[in-house]
């Protein structure tokens, strides 16, 4: 369904983290959140669409030569370039517009900018276009995706036919609730006794022990450092904390920190340490252990695939997952900041592969999505693609609906009482028995 843009703008709003967030080789304490607002013309009527994403330092671009502030500035530039490119949207499908915007923004960004960073702005515009088109059509996101209103079947894909994409999308079965997977950072306190002085006294849990008791969460994403000894020691401490729980689930995220030989050593230790037996049995996959620059060219040898491996940072173009599959990777992560339509395409690849007997999967990872529109859109996208176990950690490190005025906060509380609640003056997620019901997101538009 073609769209024509009438106007588009964006604003930035600061987000202050209540706790420092450690990932990869950086620490984040504050950054900005970008909000895009646009309108399209449909049958002569103006329809508004919105989107939001956090400008996360040094994930989209991990070059040692770039500081946290410089990588955030590059993301802002990507948004500015995307808005300039979006001015030409006239009679294009969203897929065609996104493909063109990515190409034009890549060309406009400074030489050497990684594609993940260059595509950040086009992803934001894409989400706002989806919101407007869904609302104009009177459909929610899953309904529009089933009909492929966005033009996913038009995307260039050498490994899957348009008919197979359409078949997969037509069978989408969204989840009505999600089970948040709590991120456990490198230096995050595990027990209450580990909490140091200087942490906020805001009534919110800090240690993993306190989070479990407060929310009932039983799924965990554990960050690795790339040091086998340190990682095994850390996993042993975590295993001691969660071992009494029943049915817990674990994923590991190396954030490109490992070399293949050291990763093989880590896997050998993981499979031989007796105290890690129950935790090892609960591990679903390991995320992006190797650098994005080499991950899609190396063969995943048997000693490196004792557990399923998925790409994340390497998923920087629409053909990345297809290439990864050919080299032995089992899955990919979906994130709206990498592109909603790419997520739909990769879902179709997984669906078609499973029909052929391949053991493939997608996983939903959130990159510190903040409560509000960012959280809602990313969560609904993942739930639409059948993901129930979803990494959600932005509310723990930031949260509080930062960037929204009192009127919009009141609207979100009234519109989504299953998702948000207000306690002691602070608006937070309503996580009960380890789940969040999201039925209120299934309304016309994209998770408004």
Same domain assignment for residues 360 and 430: yes
Please choose, from the candidates 125, 63, 67, the residue with its C-alpha nearest in 3D space to the C-alpha of residue 97.
Answer: 125
Output the CA angle 359-251-291, nearest 5 degrees. 85
Same domain assignment for residues 86 and 187: no
What's the CA dihedral at 402, 94, 121, 286 to 10 degrees?
80
Q: Mean pLDDT, to the nearest integer, of 278-301?
A: 95
Over residues 104-134, the pLDDT tens digits come to 999 999 999 999 999 999 999 999 999 999 9
pLDDT at 202: 84
Cα gap 397→196, rounded to integer Å: 16
Cα gap 333→338, rounded to integer Å: 10
Instruction: Of 16-25, 43-52, 155-164, give the lowest mean pLDDT range.
Output: 16-25
CATH number at residue 252: 3.20.20.120
Q: Mean pLDDT, to the nearest integer, of 347-353?
A: 97
| 22, part of any domain | yes
Same domain assignment for residues 121 and 199: no
pLDDT at 45: 86
Task: Report yes or no: 382 and 176 within 8 Å, Cβ to Cβ.
Answer: no
| 101, part of any domain | yes
Which pTM does this prediction carry? 0.96
| 397, part of any domain | yes
Please identify, among 78, 107, 138, the residue that sits at the C-terminal boundary of a domain: 138
| 150, part of any domain | no
Residue 368, pLDDT > 90, answer: no
3-state secondary structure of 183: strand
Instruction: Of 18-32, 39-53, 144-158, 370-384, give the lowest mean pLDDT range.
Output: 18-32
Same domain assignment for residues 114 and 200: no
Residue 24, pLDDT > 70, answer: no
pLDDT at 110: 96
Collect all residues with Cβ–Cβ distance below 8 Å to 60 and sequence separation of at least 6.
Answer: 71, 74, 75, 114, 116, 117, 120, 337
Please identify, among 113, 138, 163, the residue that sits at the C-terminal boundary of a domain: 138
Give bridge partners of residue 92 from the DSSP assignment.
3
Same domain assignment for residues 85 and 206: no
| 164, part of any domain | no
Same domain assignment for residues 205 and 134: no
Collect all residues with Cβ–Cβ distance below 8 Å to 310 and sequence separation of at least 6.
Answer: 285, 286, 287, 288, 329, 330, 331, 332, 333, 361, 363
CATH number at residue 30: 3.30.390.10
Go through 400-419 and write b for each residue having 16 or more CB atoms within 10 A of its CB, e for each that does not: bbbbbeeeebeebeeebeeb
Same domain assignment for residues 190 and 64: no
| 161, part of any domain | no
Number of structural domains found in the chain: 2
pLDDT at 42: 85
- Concatenating the DSSP letter of every residue in 393-442 gives -HHHHS-S-TT--HHHHHHHHHH-TTTEEEETTEEEE--BTTBEE-GGG-
Q: Tell me the average pLDDT of the chain.
A: 95
Same domain assignment for residues 203 and 274: yes
Same domain assignment for residues 120 and 194: no
Residue 435, pLDDT > 80, answer: yes
pLDDT at 366: 83
Instruction: Of 35-39, 59-63, 130-134, give the lowest mean pLDDT range.
Output: 59-63
| 446, part of any domain | no
Same domain assignment for residues 201 and 348: yes
| Percent residues over pLDDT 70 in the chain | 99
Over residues 198-234, the pLDDT tens digits come to 788 888 899 999 999 999 999 999 999 999 999 999 9
| 319, part of any domain | yes
* Containing structural domain, residue 204: 177-441
Same domain assignment for residues 80 and 127: yes
Please identify, among 138, 160, 188, the residue that sits at the C-terminal boundary of a domain: 138
Same domain assignment for residues 85 and 225: no
Q: Mean pLDDT, to the nearest integer, of 300-315?
A: 95
Cα gap 320→373, rounded to integer Å: 27
Output the CA angle 419-279-333, nearest 5 degrees. 50
């Amino acid at each position: 369904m073609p769209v024509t843009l009438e106007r588009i703008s964006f604003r930035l709003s600061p987000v202050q983290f209540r706790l420092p967030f450690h990932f990869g080789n950086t620490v984040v304490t504050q950054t900005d959140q970008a909000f895009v607002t646009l309108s399209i013309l449909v049958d002569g009527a103006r329809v508004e669409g919105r989107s939001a994403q956090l400008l996360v330092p040094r994930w989209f671009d991990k070059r040692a030569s770039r500081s946290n502030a410089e990588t955030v500035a590059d993301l802002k530039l990507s948004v500015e370039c995307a808005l300039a490119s979006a001015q030409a949207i006239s009679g294009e499908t969203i897929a065609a517009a996104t493909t063109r915007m990515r190409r034009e923004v890549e060309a406009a960004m400074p030489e050497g900018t990684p594609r993940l960073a260059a595509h950040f702005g086009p992803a934001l515009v894409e989400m706002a276009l989806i919101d407007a088109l869904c609302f104009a059509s009177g459909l929610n996101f899953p309904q529009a995706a089933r009909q492929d209103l966005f033009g996913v079947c038009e995307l260039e894909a050498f490994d899957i036919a348009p008919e197979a994409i359409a078949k997969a999308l037509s069978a989408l079965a969204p989840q009505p609730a999600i089970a948040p997977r709590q991120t456990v950072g490198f230096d995050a306190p595990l027990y209450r006794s580990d909490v140091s002085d200087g942490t906020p006294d805001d009534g919110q849990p800090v240690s993993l022990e306190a989070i479990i008791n407060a929310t009932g969460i039983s799924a965990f994403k554990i960050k690795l450092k790339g040091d086998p000894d340190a990682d095994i020691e850390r996993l042993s401490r975590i295993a001691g904390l969660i071992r009494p729980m029943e049915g817990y689930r674990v994923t590991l995220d190396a954030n490109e920190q490992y070399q293949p030989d050291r990763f093989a050593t880590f896997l050998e230790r993981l499979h031989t340490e007796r105290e890690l037996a129950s935790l090892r049995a609960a591990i679903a996959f390991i995320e992006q252990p190797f650098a994005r620059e080499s991950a899609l060219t190396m063969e995943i040898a048997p000693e490196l695939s004792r557990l399923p491996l998925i790409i994340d940072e390497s998923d920087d173009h629409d053909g990345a997952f297809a290439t990864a599959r050919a080299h032995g990777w089992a899955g990919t992560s979906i994130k709206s900041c990498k592109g909603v339509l790419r997520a739909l395409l990769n879902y179709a690849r997984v669906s078609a592969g499973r029909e052929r007997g391949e053991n493939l999967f997608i996983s939903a990872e959130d990159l510190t999505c903040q409560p509000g529109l960012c959280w809602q859109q990313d969560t609904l996208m993942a739930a639409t693609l059948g993901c129930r176990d979803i990494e959600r950690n932005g509310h723990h490190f930031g949260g509080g609906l930062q960037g929204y005025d009192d009127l919009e906060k009141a609207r979100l509380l009234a519109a989504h009482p299953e998702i948000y609640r207000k306690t002691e003056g602070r608006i937070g997620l309503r996580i009960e028995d380890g789940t969040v019901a999201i039925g209120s997101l299934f309304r016309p538009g994209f998770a408004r």
